[in-house]
Amino acid sequence: MATTKLKNYLNRNEVEYRLIPHPRAFTAQEIAANSHITGHEIAKTVIVKIDGALAMAVLPASEVIDLEQFAALLGATLVELAYESEFERFFNDCEVGAMPPFGNLFGMKVFVDSELTLDEQIAFSAGNHAELIQLNYTDFEELVQPIMLEFGVCA
């Protein structure tokens, strides 16, 4: 079941969204294949540490983060992937690895790769490994107010 916190937030803000069930999957590319949505429209959430501070990097499932480029764009000394043990406490109503890209609900900054803005809709994990939430990108941007950068590269 989708995270209650996220569903309540979307409903409170009167955002139209669609809950899409899919066979249990653990990678963004598997989820794309199982849900019949292109990897370009699936937004994966990656937790990073930017000079020690946790943040969300959100990019298409078909891309990976260029950590050096990301650090350079931010003027950061070090950007690295965070370990699950470092962030799982922030997502107590989510399955590990299925965090929705709503950092504002979890006390984290959100950085989104500009490639995601090219699609009218995005879909992302609903807090578990068997459901997606799909909504208009403009609604996501309005609610989350992410910082847009170009940090993804083709996988």
- What pLDDT digit, counting tens, does each position of 39-79 carry? 668 899 999 999 999 999 999 988 999 999 999 999 999 99
Global pTM value: 0.90
Please determine, for residue 33, whether its predicted confidence score (pLDDT) is greater than 80: no
Query: How far is 34 from 39, CA to CA, in rounded Å?
Result: 11
pLDDT band at 14 (very low <50, low <70, confident <90, very high): very high
In whole angstroms, give the CA distance from residue 135 to residue 30. Answer: 20
Q: What is the pLDDT of residues 111-155, one digit of tens each?
A: 999 999 888 999 999 998 889 999 999 999 999 999 999 998 887
Q: Which residues pair with 46 in a beta bridge?
A: 57
* Strands 147-149 and 109-113, bridge-based pairing: parallel
Contact 132, 42 (CB under 8 A): yes
Per-residue pLDDT for 24 more than 90?
A: no
Domains of the chain are 4-154 (3.90.960.10)
- Is residue 1's pLDDT more than 60? no
Mean pLDDT of the chain: 90
